[in-house]
Amino acid sequence: MECTYCASNLAGYDPVFVEETAADGSRVGAGGFCNYACLAAHIEDTALTDGDTCAWSPDADGE
Ligand SMILES: [Zn+2]
C-alpha cells in the first residue's frame, strides 16, 4: 500500500489510516499515510477542513 499523499511505500513507516463514512454510516473513502505529517499536508492540500466545525464549539458564531 502507498501513502495517499506522497505515494511512498507504507511498509517502511508506522502508517496512519483514515476512514471516512457518510451520515448513514456507509463507507465513502479511506486513505493511508506515512505519518501525521503526511495526513496533515493532505488535509491542507485538499482543503478537507474548510467549512468544518464542531457543533459544540463555543466560538461558533455563524460566520
Ligand atoms: Zn507520505
| 6-63 residue pLDDT tens | 999 999 999 999 998 888 988 887 899 999 999 999 989 988 888 887 777 676 565 5
Q: How far is the CA of 49 from the centre of ligand 1 (A)?
A: 19
Q: Is residue 51 part of a domain?
A: no
Predicted pLDDT at 30? 80
**Rounded-to-integer distance, Cα 59 and Cα 18, Å:** 27
Burial of 32 per CB tally in 10 Å (0-12, 13-18, 19+): middle
One-letter-per-residue 3-state SS of the chain: CECCCCCCEHHHCCCEEEEEECCCCCEEEEEEECCHHHHHHHHHHCCCCCCCCCCCCCCCCCC
pLDDT digits (tens, 9 = 90+) for 21-31: 888 988 887 89
Q: Is residue 59 part of a domain?
A: no
Q: How far is the CA of 40 from the centre of ligand 1 (A)?
A: 10
The boundaries of the domain holding residue 37 are: 10-45
Count: domains in the chain? 1
Predicted pLDDT at 61? 63
Predicted pLDDT at 62? 59
Q: Is residue 36 part of a domain?
A: yes
Q: How far is the CA of 13 from the centre of ligand 1 (A)?
A: 9
Q: Is residue 30 part of a domain?
A: yes
Q: Is residue 31 part of a domain?
A: yes
Q: How far is the CA of 15 from the centre of ligand 1 (A)?
A: 9
pTM: 0.69
Q: Is residue 17 part of a domain?
A: yes
Q: Is residue 54 part of a domain?
A: no
